[in-house]
Amino acid sequence: EDQVTQSPEALRLQEGESSSLNCSYTVSGLRGLFWYRQDPGKGPEFLFTLYSAGEEKEKERLKATLTKKESFLHITAPKPEDSATYLCAVQAGVGSGGYQKVTFGIGTKLQVIP
């Protein structure tokens, strides 16, 4: 069964203090790894898609990287507005209908303190 584990569950940073969030996965036949940001009471907002090991993508203070077993979301000099829950999801394997399915991690709740 596909598994996606995110760590840490919660992270508290001072404004400007860079850090990384981890997403490790155990799946058969990874087709894509997605990062989302979710604010309280809202639906997840798409950030990045990574398809193959070694791939990197950047957006403002965020940079996502992918290896064969995990992905990292690096946050450089975070600001309070970066506070949110960050979700990782993988598309792999085959679901009940014969098509690939998406599995989400529990998420990392990030709090950036001014």
Partner 1 sequence: KAGVTQTPRYLIKTRGQQVTLSCSPISGHRSVSWYQQTPGQGLQFLFEYFSETQRNKGNFPGRFSGRQFSNSRSEMNVSTLELGDSALYLCASSLRQGAEAFFGQGTRLTVV
Which residues bind to partner 1, rule: CB under 8 A?
A: 31-32, 34, 36, 41-46, 49, 87, 89, 91, 95-107
| CB 8 to partner 1: min, Å | 15
Nearer to partner 1, 6 or 65 (CB): 6
Nearer to partner 1, 13 or 90 (CB): 90
For residue 60, give both structure tokens. Answer: 């403002």
| CB 72 to partner 1: min, Å | 19
Is residue 107 a contact partner of residue 6, using CB atoms and an 8 Å limit?
A: yes
Say which amino acid occupies 27. Answer: V
Residue 112: partners with Cβ closer than 8 Å, 6 or more residues away: 13, 14, 15, 78, 79, 80, 81, 82, 83
Nearer to partner 1, 77 or 106 (CB): 106
